[in-house]
Amino acid sequence: MGERTKYTPGTFSWTDLATTDQDAAKEFYGQLFGWTAVDYPVGEGVVYSMMQIDGKDVAAISLQPQQQADAGVPPLWNSYVTVESADATADRAQKLGATVHAPPFDVMDAGRMAVIQDPQGAFFMPWEPKDHNGASLVNASGALSWNELASVDPEASAQFYRELFGWKVEQFQGMEMTYLGIQNAAGHSNGGIREAMENEPSYWLVYFGTADADADTARATELGANTLAPPMDISVGRIAVLQDPQGAVFALYAGTFDE
């Protein structure tokens, strides 16, 4: 079980869900992972639901911004990367060919962030922490355990993120397919990059830990989810890819967790 009070810059540290039905999503994930919600007002009639396990923040669920809804963007899980400066990261990313969709802005006293689309099309958020450092629990059942980029050009994506975050990216040992493992500046595992399948866009997929991928897949199905990739063995564990009842895609990982 990995408890965290801070993150090395360049490390995935947080995830939140932008969905079309906040209450239904809270109910689904609460039943699936045992999450409890603590609602924080962020505007008139709007709350940001911090999802917790034993009082530790693991993720958040919020109502999809109207701009995304109007554009037809489906519900999705967002991936946040801790940085020293959101402004410097956004500027650097743009120079490397990314698109800055939302320039750096303050999130009250929690931190500062931006919304960036990498050159291959995947979205991510640099997070400059203030009062909120990120997830206080990771690499455990029901907690963020992995971030995986499906890319239309894995090598180009690897080079972009190497230059942006200083990641070490190289072929993951034991994988027959092209799968690039990511290490942060501290040398810790920090996700992976694979080639997108036919007609699959570039995007960051969020994995949550589980003690039993098969049981949680069956439970998710009972709760209204769709199974996009049934439980399968990989070299380091067992995974599945699901779509929640509102349409957001996420994955399960059962195996050995890093501390």
Phi-psi region of 142 (alpha: psi -120 to 50; beta: other; left: phi over 0): left
pLDDT for 234 equals 87
* pLDDT mean over 116-141: 97
- Residue 56's pLDDT band (cuts 50, 70, 90): very high
pLDDT for 212 equals 97
Residue intervals in the chain for CATH 3.10.180.10: 2-129, 139-255
CB atoms under 10 Å from CB of 44, counted, come to 5
Contact (CB, 8 A) for 160 and 240: no
Q: At residue 173, does pLDDT exceed 80?
A: no
93-107, 163-177, 228-242: range with lowest mean pLDDT: 163-177
Helix (H), strand (E) at residue 155:
helix 154-165
Q: Scanning the structure block, which residue is given the tokens 């203030």?
A: 130
Higher pLDDT, 235 or 62: 62
Percentage with pLDDT > 90 across the chain: 85
Higher pLDDT, 90 or 198: 90
* Token reading at 43: 């505007």
Q: At residue 140, does pLDDT exceed 70?
A: yes
Average pLDDT score, the chain: 95
* pLDDT mean over 38-59: 94
CATH architecture, domain defined by 2-129: Roll (3.10)
Main-chain dihedrals φ then ψ at residue 158, nearest 5 degrees: -60, -40
Instruction: State how beta strands 2-3 and 144-151 pair.
Output: unpaired
Contact (CB, 8 A) for 254 and 240: no
CATH class belonging to 139-255? alpha beta
pLDDT for 176 equals 73
- Residue 73's pLDDT band (cuts 50, 70, 90): confident
CA separation for the pair 117, 23 (Å, rounded): 28
Q: At residue 174, does pLDDT exceed 80?
A: no
Per residue in 181-225, pLDDT (tens digit) is 999 988 888 999 999 999 999 999 999 999 999 999 999 999 999
Q: Scanning the structure block, which residue is given the tokens 């493992």?
A: 181
* Token reading at 137: 């629990």
Contact (CB, 8 A) for 183 and 168: yes
